[in-house]
Amino acid sequence: MIKRPICVASILYMTGILIGLYTSISIAFFICLFMITCLLFFLWFKKTSYILFLLFILLGFLAIYYSEKDFATTYREVYDSDEVCITGVVLSPPEDKEYKYRYTVQVSKINDDTSYKGTKLFLDFKKNNNSKGGSYKETDIPTAGDEIEFSGCIESPKEARNYKGFDYKAYLKGKGIYGIVETTKVKTLSKNNLSAFQQMLQRIQRNIKQNMESILGKEEAGLCIGILIGSREGITEETENHFQKSNLTHLLAVSGSHITYIITAFATVLGKTSKKITQIGTILFLIFFMALTGYTASVMRASIMGILVLVAGLLHRKSDTINNLGISSFLLFLLNPYTITDLGFLLSYAGTMGIILLGEPITNKVSILFHKFFHIGR
């Protein structure tokens, strides 16, 4: 009997993803190798359950194989070619950088070809050179929900140039971004093209930003918003450098501590209501909070684990932390196999596993040494 089967399935699925991502094995060879391995396992262990678990390696390999194939072929004909005309919808407010505004655009068509529909690009809208901040009027700058049209060359993201260097292409794959386009002119075709839920999220984020800035000031508000919902748009480069030098960058990442505060706050505010209502209300808010923070890996890990703890309470079951960790990672891999390359995912899960597996043994050892030291001192 395999203990914590979902954890085992998640690890095997992750193994298949890593094999497909970092080896050059052909799909035909891998399937043949997989079938031989399954046969040997059956002959040795005489259990079909082991073969079912090995199947998750194949599923992980196929998931990353077809994702890689999609990224390699979808934009192959338009990468670094002549200028193309692109129509799409802006998904989020612009990142205001020094010399440009950066947008995430969901493509509708490229040169009247709708086969690219649903894919995403980064659009770098260059500012005017007349001043450092640019001379565009606020009404000229597209915002979330605008359907826009622009022209430019689609640049393929760059891979790591040095050994173990930063792989920008893999980073963008994790965000579903197929390429980058630079332009100096954008035409707005229509507005309010996001769903009602997306518009609500944008409105809440905008209200949070405006209220924070009116109370704290722009720079302090940017830092506070970064700590609250993980948005770093308002944090200056100098402030980020200070956090990096003091090894406190993790404070700007939304993670498990935020989820703990949310659960505690709901338990306090709704403490006089029934326990079931409190748990259901907290679950719904955690789902909303994942959307508000942009579905980042660390937030989804902590939120899913928090939801599983609450669901276990609703079902009068005992929650298992390691099992919850396995379920959350498996769901993230199913949604996006490139999550395995996300630094936030790696740090979040490694830190959580370290706390779960090493926290108690280290605490006990320190406690023994502490008591022994003071005993000797007497």
CB count within 10 Å of CB 107 equals: 23
Region 111-124 average pLDDT:
90
Region 313-340 average pLDDT:
87
pTM of the model: 0.79
Instruction: Estimate to the nearest angstrom the gap between the alpha carbon of 87 and the chain centroid.
Output: 26
Over residues 255-280, the pLDDT tens digits come to 667 777 788 888 888 777 788 888 88
- Report helix, strand or coil for 319: coil
Strands (E), the chain: 84-90, 95-96, 100-110, 120-126, 147-152, 154-155, 177-183, 186-190
Please report the pLDDT score of residue 21 as a whole number: 87
The letter for the amino acid at 153 is C
User: Where is 166: in which H helix or E strand?
Assistant: none
Q: Do residues 154 and 87 lie in contact, with contact meaning Cβ atoms separated by under 8 Å? A: no
Percentage with pLDDT > 70 across the chain: 89
Question: What is the CATH number that goes with domain 84-194?
Answer: 2.40.50
Over residues 293-320, the pLDDT tens digits come to 878 777 888 888 889 988 988 888 888 8
Domain assignments of the chain as residue spans, ordered by start:
5-73, 84-194, 198-358
- Residue 95: band (very low, low, confident or very high) from pLDDT cuts 50, 70, 90: confident
User: Where is 76: in which H helix or E strand?
Assistant: none
The DSSP output letter for 98 is S
Please report the pLDDT score of residue 120 as a whole number: 93
Over residues 61-71, the pLDDT tens digits come to 999 999 999 98
The rounded distance, in Å, linking the Cα atoms of 44 and 334 is: 31
